[in-house]
Amino acid sequence: MIEPSATPEDVAAHERTVNPNINRPNINRSGTSRSGTNNQWWVFTIPIGFGSRHNGPTFPVLLLATGIGIWLLSVWATRRITDPLLHFAAAADRLGMDVNAPPLPEHGSKELRQAAQAFNQMQERLQRLIGDRTFMLAAISHDLRTVLTRLRLRAEFIDNPVQQQKAAADLTQMEMMLTSTLNFAKEDSAPEPRTTLDLASLLQSICDDLTDAGYQTLCEPHPRVSIPGQPTALRRALTNLVENAAIYGQEATVTLSVLSSGVEVMISDRGPGIPPEMRENVFKPFFRLEQSRNRETGGTGLGLAVARTVIRRHGGEIRLQDRWPHGYNQPDGKGQGGPGLVVAVYLPSD
């Protein structure tokens, strides 16, 4: 406190005497005030900073610590937001390959629990839908097999040998279509467990079996590679592809290549090829390029559909491409069909 008669210069000198750090940069701000009752001066000091540049590395250290803290907090907040989304994406990917995949855990915030519950309910509805479809097809197949058995017995009593042979062929075709349809439905409803299998040995075994059956197949030397998969389903899918190439493309040549993220099986033939605008349609159930119901020409229209279902359930993909760069047209330009087709099958290695 300063006497009322003091001048402003006396007040400033008194301030410097009381606190030498007054008015230093980044430290304090001072001021004076005159009391309204006894007309005396009061000196006050307000600290506003962390210290001067001569007081050590306190400010840079605090600034660095604050930055690191903010960065850690942002990383934590980002992980807290994105981790549930990554779990949802992984669950959706598993559901696309296996409808019986484990459900999502229902924990976290209220919104996350509601989203997980909705996802699990959708999965349960899909399981019921596929199960009901398989049950219906199995029941229809059983009833139709009974009728086919009676028709086959009655066909034996047809006097005309030609008509008897045609009737027997039609019944065989119908029975084969029933079996193919039921197997196609089972691929989604009851997938087999996965094991580690030798893909090169599997391909060689398929080629050997088809060669023994009279088909022209060539299995080129393959590198030894193991992949996780369902042995029976994968064998059925690859057999369908190699058999189609041998039947409709004169011969089938099978090669296996190891990629950075998986393997690629190439099945090439020397047949008439498939028009580019029809290549997606051949993977649809019961679609046939030839409308004949003769097994030697038209088939049942389920072989490629089953193959794509199995390959996609393994996380892979199938694509069709021309064997030669000329495309679907003949090199001579007559447009009578290209010199072969290549079926490329990609399968992940993990």
Same-domain pairing of 204 and 341: yes
CATH number of the domain enclosing 141: 1.10.287
Same-domain pairing of 200 and 330: yes
CB 339 within 8 A of CB 326: yes
Model-wide pTM > 0.75: no
The last residue of one of the domains, among 189, 208, 223, is 189
Secondary structure element (H or E) that encloses residue 184, with its range:
helix 161-189
CATH number of the domain enclosing 246: 3.30.565.10
Same-domain pairing of 238 and 285: yes
Q: Token digits for 265?
A: 């099986």
Q: What is the pLDDT of residue 10?
A: 64
**Phi, psi angle pair for 219, to nearest 5°:** -110, 105
Q: What is the pLDDT of residue 293?
A: 41
Question: HSE of 41 in the Cβ direction (CA atoms, 13 Å)?
Answer: 17
Secondary structure element (H or E) that encloses residue 169, with its range:
helix 161-189
Same-domain pairing of 137 and 172: yes
Gap between the Cα atoms of 218 and 242, Å rounded: 10
Same-domain pairing of 326 and 299: yes
**Phi, psi angle pair for 309, to nearest 5°:** -60, -45
Gap between the Cα atoms of 31 and 18, Å rounded: 13
Specify if 248 maps to a domain: yes
**Phi, psi angle pair for 42, to nearest 5°:** -120, 135
Same-domain pairing of 209 and 335: yes
Q: Give the strand order in the sheet containing 317-322.
A: 217-219, 252-258, 262-268, 341-348, 317-322
Q: Look up the domain containing 140 and give its range.
A: 128-189
Same-domain pairing of 20 and 140: no
Specify if 83 maps to a domain: no
Q: Give the DSSP per-residue string, 116-130.
A: HHHHHHHHHHHHHHH
Looking at residue 103, the DSSP 8-state letter turns out to be: P
Specify if 249 maps to a domain: yes
Specify if 304 maps to a domain: yes
**Phi, psi angle pair for 274, to nearest 5°:** -130, 130
| Average pLDDT, consecutive stretches of 10 residues, N- to C-terminus, the chain (350 residues) | 59 58 48 51 52 60 86 84 81 78 82 87 88 78 82 88 87 80 65 85 93 90 85 90 89 91 91 86 79 50 84 90 63 53 90
Same-domain pairing of 211 and 259: yes
Gap between the Cα atoms of 335 and 331, Å rounded: 8
Same-domain pairing of 339 and 237: yes
Same-domain pairing of 301 and 265: yes
Which among 59, 63, 111, 61 is positioned nearest to 84, based on CA atoms?
111
- Count of domains for the chain: 3
Same-domain pairing of 169 and 306: no
The last residue of one of the domains, among 163, 189, 215, is 189
With the C-alpha atoms ordered 85, 86, 91, 94, is the resulting torsion angle positive or negative?
A: positive
Same-domain pairing of 208 and 335: yes
284 Cβ contact partners less than 8 Å away, ≥ 6 residues apart: 301, 305
Task: Tell me how crowded residue 342 is: count the other CB atoms within 10 A of its CB.
Answer: 19
Specify if 335 maps to a domain: yes
